[in-house]
Structure 1
Amino acid sequence: METLAILGGRPVRDKYLTYGRQAINEEDINSVVEVLKGDYLTTGPKVKEFEDAVAKYVNAKYAVAVCNGTAALHMACYAAGIKEGDEVIVSSLTFAASANCVLYCGGTPVFAEINKVTYNIDIEDIKRKITERTKAIIAVDYTGQPVNIDEIKEIAKEYNLIFIEDGAHSLGAEYKGIKVGTQADMTMFSFHPVKPITTGEGGIITTNNKEYYDRMLLFRSHGITRDYELMKENQGKWYYEQIDLGYNYRITDLQCALGISQIKKLDSFIARRRYIANIYNEAFSDLEEIVTPKEADFSNSGWHIYVIKLNNQKISCTRKEFFDAMIRENIGVNVHYMPVYLHPYYEKLGYKKGQCKEAEKLYDSIITLPLFPAMTDKDIEDVIKAVFKICNYYKSK
């Protein structure tokens, strides 16, 4: 049996492999340089060009790009009219932004349990959590796998709720053969460096609803308009009015130039992610110490991240011991995510441990393995070797 690096053995690789990384080439760099040499650095023509490119890719009528994914979720909640006294049902196993956006608008996040197979939001728990104060549902496409969109839409229609799909992980993913981005009332995508494509930081909302689109355009730029039909008066081309309280959530032409270049490569990025996930699935299929991720029949995941679960019946280490051992093997790993309501800030708001027991149980045993398009076959092989090395060492006797 090989000695683990954390116990003094030789690591499976000499150079550290991060769990996620952007893929930038000369075409991307030249696109940004071109903007740097032009007339606009911030809100110029590249913003609309990027919005149109994303809308076209997902077949949506409208898209509004902003400075990051969190701002996009805030913008969606604003467009949905979330206010004090409203409740919004939110996925529990997600990054804090999925719930923070509700708080920003004065609403109350209500956390729903996870599905034990896909780890996405549990449909039955959504139904249990609906009250007369419920205004919307924010469902996260965890790891890039779409939620059960049709069932959530049925619930939303029955109870007159707004469905916001948090697709931070799922640009390029498909639900029943249709790309994510049009089935919900509004869909958010993120362009953080580890996401399917990047603009450095950035986010976008796609929608087919003109009313939401108009509200979001206003919201991202201080609530200011130059539309004479919306203003009290029109004193000339220089004139504008603030007609609502918005934010400065504008994205730059520099970011959008990068995004325009990146989206041309998105399909190849997704294909590579699926290739890596399939190799992992095959390699780990008979490894009893871990549980590999499962896909629903309706899903064609974008595989933003690859999350394994430790089988506590077959392995004698804790998640922390496994995590630390992987790091010492020079394999970058992560954990996605702690249930949002367990964060100290949410505890101060009155949320308590135990309200989503399946999410909490899963959190204690999950680890995210490296998965990004620029990984080489040797990188993939090293990840697999490290997992087997650690599992073999901690195999339950």
Structure 2
Amino acid sequence: MIPYGRQSISDEDVAAVVAVLRSDFLTQGPAVPRFEAEVARIVGARHAVAANSATSALHVACLALGLGKGDFLWTVPNTFVASANCGVYCGASVDFVDIDPVTLNMSVPALEAKLADAERRGRLPKVLVPVHFAGEPCDMAAIGALARRYGVRVIEDASHAIGARQAGRMVGDCAHSDVTVFSFHPVKIVTTAEGGMAVTQDERLAERMALFRSHGITRDPALMQGAVEGPWFYQQLELGYNYRMTDLQAALGLSQLSRLEAFAARRQGLAARYDRLLAGLPVALPYRDAANLSALHLYPVQVARRASVFDALRAAGIGVNVHYFPVHLQPFYRAMGFAAGQFPAAEAYYDRAITLPLHPALTEAEQDHVVSSLRAAL
């Protein structure tokens, strides 16, 4: 089966993990801060906080921004459930903004209209989570301007988008947001097996996220209350979580980062080849803005009769997938009152969506098989 995505592990990656195994620290050692510093350097952020998943990173980002009961978090329906669940974890209410049918990212006109209506009703969100779907950056300049106008905090869900650029700026420099979150799951551009990272330009937010990541505990005397009893002393200041990344994971991530540009180039080449091979077929190809550099985490196409095409491709040994079943139609969110028809662009996209294989190890022969099988299925 040709997978839609998979990790690319080199001998250097293996050696980096083995070196940690033979060191004094398997966790809470020097590899995690080195990994944080390198991600921050690459994306142009001042601070980075590693976590054991992007879901955890989204959660601590929401906590650091003070999201809680009585607040609202908005995201898009076309995403993994974590983009919405992070608000529920904090006791907030969740709502959605429909996507643009071309870019498949958050629709700026829909956001503008929804914000204006929410202001009239006194129900503005505290946190907005735009998602860089498939690695294509959202229109963050427009989204950020609207957020500033209405006093909304912004967390970019860039789980698909490490290495992406918009208008010459790296996704993650937080020029139009408070926090950006990356994922390092095995199917993502760079992997730490499981892992995530929140980056920010705000030192106070970074401190808060790091505190929530590690049980709410600090060993920093400057943050403690009352007398410090000795070098062994620590205090729990908040109800935090054990969301720490291990040194094993960070070492793998550091090694992977050295190939970020090579991974990106391979994905760009394969995507361009798909574009050529699929030209003329009754297939809607994924949108890419020429002013941006997509990270190309996914190559989602849209077809008629999706179910039959999906089954035919699976029967041909091709591990196609669908990204995403709209979050508002999940049973958990339907129980909150969401229903079909509320976000028609996301629902229409889902009805036609198939994600074709795209990863650095994909060969041209495998890609030819994908294309010929898709042509036959159509």
| DSSP-derived class of the 1:29 partner | helix
Following TM superposition, by how much is the alpha carbon of 1:298 offset from its aligned partner in structure 2, in angstroms? 3.1
Q: 1:4 aligns to what? A: none
> 1:140 touches 1:167 (CA, 8 Å); kept in 2?
yes
Structure 1 stretches of 4+ with a deviation exceeding 4 A read: none
Q: 2:44 aligns to what? A: 59
Q: 1:41 aligns to what? A: 26
> 1:146 touches 1:175 (CA, 8 Å); kept in 2?
yes
> 1:169 touches 1:195 (CA, 8 Å); kept in 2?
yes
| DSSP-derived class of the 1:290 partner | coil
Q: Does 1:342 align with 2:329?
A: yes
Q: Does 1:253 align with 2:253?
A: no
Query: What amino acid does structure 2 have at the position aligned with 1:306?
Result: Y
| DSSP-derived class of the 2:301 partner | strand
> Please, which runs of 5 or more residues in structure 1 have no aligned partner?
1-15, 313-317, 392-397
Q: 2:358 aligns to what? A: 371
| DSSP-derived class of the 1:42 partner | coil
Deviation string for 1:370-390 (max 9, x for gaps)?
A: 000111121111111111121
Q: Does 1:107 align with 2:103?
A: no
Aligned partners of 1:51 and 1:294: how far apart in 2? Answer: 31
Q: 2:171 aligns to what? A: 180
| DSSP-derived class of the 1:171 partner | coil
Aligned partners of 1:129 and 1:247: how far apart in 2? Answer: 33
Q: 2:271 aligns to what? A: 277
Aligned partners of 1:353 and 1:108: how far apart in 2? Answer: 19
Aligned partners of 2:113 and 2:239: how far apart in 1? Answer: 35
Q: 1:214 aligns to what? A: 207
Aligned partners of 2:42 and 2:78: how far apart in 1? Answer: 28
Task: Map 1:1-397 onto structure 2 (within 5 A).
Answer: 16-130=1-115, 131=118, 132-133=122-123, 134-182=125-173, 183=175, 184-232=177-225, 233-287=227-281, 289-310=282-303, 312=304, 318-391=305-378
Aligned length: 369
Following TM superposition, by how much is the alpha carbon of 1:129 offset from its aligned partner in structure 2, in angstroms? 2.3
| DSSP-derived class of the 1:109 partner | strand
Deviation string for 1:13-49 (max 9, x for gaps)?
A: xxx2111100001000000000000100011110000
> Please, which runs of 5 or more residues in structure 2 have no aligned partner?
none
> 1:113 touches 1:121 (CA, 8 Å); kept in 2?
yes
Query: What amino acid does structure 2 have at the position aligned with 1:350?
Result: G
**TM, length-normalised to structure 2:** 0.96
| DSSP-derived class of the 1:88 partner | strand
Aligned partners of 2:369 and 2:161: how far apart in 1? Answer: 26
